Structure 1
């Protein structure tokens, strides 16, 4: 599995963890923006085959991690217990962490691969 594929799968798992948290009583807006943003970024990474598209999951997952630290929601979800709410939160955080690391490694790998190609074939 390539780093790009790992990013896509991880983002989709993180997005799917949000409805799981909601089913356990976590407070989210009626239409959870995090799930939509994660799914859209996964689709963009799937559709756009340029190296620089991997910057998007780095920025988004880093921003969501910062938001998780600055708000009490993650702590509340973990303290509430239960698989749906606490487990969904753990799944989301782990999946976003995997997506972040895979996106950074993918950026390095794809950029390195690109720099070894002749100039006429670079994108």
Structure 2
């Protein structure tokens, strides 16, 4: 595998880790109070634990598809859209979270940069 292929794979695994970790740890293993507050802020008619479990499973599925479907950019595009939507959502519904440590701005922007690295390197590899 050439250098560009290693860059692509490393970026894919890093982005996949972000999604798997955020789906598993604060949503499934230890329900974070911010997750519960998020559900309450949106008046979702499902218990926060159930909603978090479903959202966590979706995030894990996206992460695994990013890692396993290395020939496809579709899961990367899905991840990028979700990262943008969730960042905007945090800005409107929980603006105080934008100023905290490890906040959605820094996390989502770094993950979006990984999406760009994957997209660019994948296109170059295809040529």
Q: Give the aligned CA root-mean-square deviation in angstroms.
A: 3.0
Q: Normalized against structure 1, the TM-score is what?
A: 0.58
In structure 2, relative to structure 1, the CA distance for the partners of 1:10 and 1:43 (3 Å cut) is: closer
Aligned structure 1 segments of 4 or more residues deviating by more than 6 angstroms? none
1:3, 1:89 → 2: CA distance? Answer: 24
Q: Are 1:62 and 2:80 an aligned pair? A: yes
Secondary structure at 2:11 match in 1: helix
Q: Are 1:102 and 2:117 an aligned pair? A: yes
Kept in 2: contact 1:24–1:82 (CA 8 A): no
Q: Are 1:44 and 2:59 an aligned pair? A: no
Structure with bigger RCO (C-alpha 8 Å, 6+ apart): 1
Question: 1:1-123 alignment to 2 at 5 Å?
Answer: 1-17=6-22, 19-20=25-26, 23-26=32-35, 27=38, 29-31=51-53, 32-33=55-56, 34-45=58-69, 48=70, 50=71, 53=72, 55-68=73-86, 72=89, 74-75=90-91, 76-80=93-97, 82-83=100-101, 87-112=102-127
Structure 1: gaps spanning 5 or more residues = 113-123
The Cα shift of 1:95 comes to 3.8
Q: Normalized against structure 2, the TM-score is what?
A: 0.57
